[in-house]
Amino acid sequence: MALAPALSAMQRGGCESESAAGWEAAAAEEEEEQGRVDAGGSGEPERTAREEPAKARAPAPAPAQPGAAEEGDARVLRRSPPGPSAEPAQGPWSHGKPRSRGRSCKRSSGRAADGYHFVRPVTVDSSKARTSLDALKISIRQLKWKEFPFGRRLPCDIYWHGVSFHDSDIFSGQVNKFPGMTEMVRKITLSRAVRIMQNLFPEEYNFYPRSWILPDELQLFAAQVQMVKDDDPSWKPTFIVKPDSGCQGDGIYLIKDPNDIRLSGTLQRRPAVVQEYICKPLLIDKLKFDIRLYVLLKSLEPLEIYVAKDGLSRFCTEPYQEPTPRNLRHIFMHLTNYSLNIHSGHFVHSDSTSTGSKRTFSSVLYRLSSKGVDIKKVWSDIISLVIKTVIALTPELKVFYQSDIPAGRPGPTCFQILGFDILLMKNLKPILLEVNANPSMRIEHERELSPGVFENVPSLVDEEVKVAVIRDTLRLMDPLKKKRESHFPDLYMDRKHRFPLGSDRLPSAKLHLSKLSIVRSQQLEKPLARKEDPSDSDLASSSDGSSKPNPDAQLPSICLKQVFPKYAKQFNYLRLVDRMANLFIRFLGIKGTMKLGPTGFRTFIRNCKLSSSSLSMAAVDILYIDITRRWNSMTMDQRDSGMCLQAFIEAFFFLAQRKFKMLPLHEQVASLIDLCEYHLSLLDEKRLVCGRSGRLGVRPPYSGTAQEATAAALLAEGSAPPCPDRLSHSRHALS
């Protein structure tokens, strides 16, 4: 276990892998030439400040988060990354001869004359990829990018972390995790975030089962169940209890009565969510199944969401029956977890992606469509569920983000693949079960040779779906894409023209990806797409007649479909909490904090002109203390003192209800947000007119552009001297 880090340290200390070092020398020169401009090529304008060279920064602690493990870790046979010798470094077009190619290119005096530029390959640090390593390697090879399996002294373009943002300290480039995502998708936090949205938009958020947080809401749970039972004695509900930090079905059980919750000892130590159990799932061959869908959060600000066109369906291994006291413990009947069902004698491994206990979701849809199901409607309901869920998660994520990567400090940009677990009800309504921050990207599965002895064998269905997701995520995040496009304009234009992004001309399902063996993935680097479509052979050579291969032209169309901002118009009205989070962040004050102090809260009230004769500042202070104290005791979060976002939202709801009594809740809240934003924009304007650069007292929303940041910096509440304009106003008022 300790071998890999030790090796890695040795490699870093001495000469790194020969080929890697050779490449680095060339790459370093090249990077100098190219500057860091390329790193912004993925189209995230506000991030340029974070691409400064790494400065000394206090190493980010890597807290041992319960539940922060990569999904599927529990039974993982850990492997050290293959050594450099096993993985000869390859340049983009050189097929194993990066140095000579890179050098000859550098030395070529005719470079400027013939206009030939060598676009360096994108570099990926895979040293922390853990169980996604196999799929990542295949993806990098298909893209002809450069992998650094032991890390790299120089910055890489992309860092692939298996578990969390904090897996290593990074100050530039892109990392495949957002800070705080693991916390955000834990069962309790997710339930809280969705509940806020359910309060605001009950109809829109009825895709998440009603949930209670244990132990805090045990009494409430029991009381509410009793109330419904009193109303309707024929109601025989079932509930599912899920430990907050659990995964892979660990610790989950079904109950018929609130009194059946296992209180003995564990609940205090292991908080949980109790949730309505969906008793009527859609069945195929009498079996319950769920859907694992991969969702790429490409950017938080602006919000960009992609959904993979294919996912996995995981089947139970015992025919389903609605829950009765006798079958409540039949896990193979009620829980679809692969990690559980694989241990059932009835688990079916299949060589086909459309049969067996784990299949592609597209094969399930195909089957449903053959039975007359409107699968377009199913898809659009699923996409809507995904967008709404991400909208529920982003406000707090922004708070985490600005805390870990404060505006103006060097840091990476983030993206993340999320695993959405969805259940289809008998009436085809999709239900969100949970979101995984670290969905398993393993492309092999275990086979039990004899009791207790397992071997790993390639899993075709996993490989087909997961490699496409990772590869296409990388393609979407490609920081050098613009540069490459400018070098191969004809190729890219042709490609775009013929196979626009997301087109179905070459569906990924058609592409038979290699099995695990890297040898086969190397074969795949060759004329893969040409097999699919003969016209692609034209794309593989540039219009100037030179044979510079364009890897993109050889790949199938991107399997990730943009759903946001594409459907922004339909969903933007739901983003109220997001706007509240922007207000919250603006008044946070000290960089790196996640909680609002009493002064920040008072300033918020004052600047938004919310105090009045009926809401004195003393009442504001009491409101702050009251709500903050309750939330801090509830979340047992002792990291910072102060008001967390959830508490701020509660206070905001309270203020909105007071001010706009007659409206429905979401309109009350929307009206108050409008009012706050209006007063703050007036303040911003005044400060801009003033043109004074005061000291930073209030932070700009982290997401703002450089101009907005300057404007907000001018705001410096409480610390900037009043501008003459303001003074003259008050003088007029006084006189």
Which residues contact ligand ADP (rule: CB under 6 A)? 209, 240, 242, 246-250, 252, 275-278, 290, 335-337, 421, 423, 433-434
The set of residues, in sequence order, having a beta carbon less than 8 Å from that of 288 and lying 6+ positions away, is 281, 315, 316, 320, 333, 334, 336
Least separation, in Å, of the C-beta of 261 and ligand ADP? 15
DSSP annotation of 643 reads B
Nearer to ligand ADP, 290 or 717 (CB): 290
Handedness of CA 193, 196, 201, 203 (dihedral sign): positive
Least separation, in Å, of the C-beta of 277 and ligand ADP? 4
Least separation, in Å, of the C-beta of 258 and ligand ADP? 16
Least separation, in Å, of the C-beta of 275 and ligand ADP? 5
Nearer to ligand ADP, 445 or 687 (CB): 445
CA 263 to chain centre: 34
Rounded to whole angstroms, how far apart are CA atoms 600 and 586? 9
Nearer to ligand ADP, 434 or 552 (CB): 434
Nearer to ligand ADP, 93 or 207 (CB): 207
Least separation, in Å, of the C-beta of 257 and ligand ADP? 17
Least separation, in Å, of the C-beta of 307 and ligand ADP? 19
Report the SS3 class of residue 420: strand
Least separation, in Å, of the C-beta of 723 and ligand ADP? 54
Least separation, in Å, of the C-beta of 500 and ligand ADP? 35
Nearer to ligand ADP, 423 or 651 (CB): 423
Q: How far apart are the first and last CA of the chain?
A: 77
Question: In this structure, how many other beta carbons lie within 10 angstroms of the beta carbon of residue 510?
Answer: 12
Nearer to ligand ADP, 290 or 404 (CB): 290
Are the CB atoms for 485 and 492 separated by under 8 Å?
yes
Element (H, E) at 359: strand 358-360
Least separation, in Å, of the C-beta of 434 and ligand ADP? 4
Nearer to ligand ADP, 214 or 540 (CB): 214
Rounded to whole angstroms, how far apart are CA atoms 340 and 333? 11
The DSSP result for 501-550, as a single string, is: TT-SSS-GGGS----S-HHHHHHHTTTHHHHH-TTHHHHTS-TTS-----
Question: In this structure, how many other beta carbons lie within 10 angstroms of the beta carbon of residue 103?
Answer: 15
Question: In this structure, how many other beta carbons lie within 10 angstroms of the beta carbon of residue 76?
Answer: 16
| 521 closest CA partner among 144, 127, 62, 45 | 144
Rounded to whole angstroms, how far apart are CA atoms 289 and 281? 8
Nearer to ligand ADP, 250 or 446 (CB): 250
Categorise residue 444: left if φ over 0, alpha if ψ from -120 to 50, beta otherwise: beta
Nearer to ligand ADP, 322 or 544 (CB): 322
Rg over CA atoms, the chain = 27
Rounded to whole angstroms, how far apart are CA atoms 90 and 75? 33
Least separation, in Å, of the C-beta of 593 and ligand ADP? 31
Least separation, in Å, of the C-beta of 211 and ligand ADP? 8
Nearer to ligand ADP, 179 or 246 (CB): 246
Report the SS3 class of residue 147: strand
Least separation, in Å, of the C-beta of 65 and ligand ADP? 15
Nearer to ligand ADP, 11 or 416 (CB): 416
Nearer to ligand ADP, 422 or 723 (CB): 422
Nearer to ligand ADP, 250 or 667 (CB): 250
Rounded to whole angstroms, how far apart are CA atoms 363 and 459? 16
Are the CB atoms for 470 and 417 separated by under 8 Å?
yes
Rounded to whole angstroms, how far apart are CA atoms 233 and 346? 38
Least separation, in Å, of the C-beta of 259 and ligand ADP? 20
Nearer to ligand ADP, 187 or 481 (CB): 187
Token representation of residue 475: 């393609």
Burial of 498 per CB tally in 10 Å (0-12, 13-18, 19+): middle
The DSSP result for 7-19, as a single string, is: HHHHHHHS---HH
Burial of 232 per CB tally in 10 Å (0-12, 13-18, 19+): exposed
| Cα atoms in the 13 Å half-sphere on the side-chain side of 267 | 14
Least separation, in Å, of the C-beta of 313 and ligand ADP? 11
